[in-house]
Amino acid sequence: MSFIERIKNAAAAEAAQPVDPWRLRLERVRGKVSDDNVERIATQAIFDFLEVAQGKRGAGACRRLSRLMRGLGWRPIRARGLNQRGLLEQIRGFARDRNGSPLS
């Protein structure tokens, strides 16, 4: 089998794979861009956008979301800050640099 045939077979196999329904909606997700030009969004805000019920936001859904978000160029983060009531809280979410440079 030649190199070109292997590339064609690989492309055909990739095209035959089903697309995750969440991926289409996640491509349109936009976070809040801060002064450092990094776009951030909380995991719970993404689940709200995807209309996932509270009872279905378990470990499996978080792993699925993380896999899809990484594929779209987002990186997982944990941020500490004050919530609306003034209490210190840790929030998990995703971030990506709007300049195109990778986040570590």
CATH numbers and ranges of domains, the chain: 20-97 (1.10.10)
pLDDT of residue 101: 56
pLDDT of residue 80: 83
Contact 95, 42 (CB under 8 A): no
Q: Write out the H or E segment, with its range, that includes residue 43.
A: helix 43-50
pLDDT of residue 18: 76
Give this prediction's pTM. Answer: 0.73
pLDDT of residue 69: 95
28: which 2 tokens?
Answer: 């349109």
How far is residue 77's CA from residue 43's CA, in Å, rounded to a whole number? 10
7: which 2 tokens?
Answer: 């590339």
Q: What is the DSSP letter of 41?
A: E
How far is residue 28's CA from residue 54's CA, in Å, rounded to a whole number? 22
pLDDT along the chain (104 residues), means of 10: 86 76 92 90 95 95 95 91 81 84 56
At 74, give phi and psi (nearest 5°).
-90, 155
User: pLDDT, tens digit, for every residue of 84-97?
Assistant: 788 888 889 999 98
pLDDT of residue 104: 54
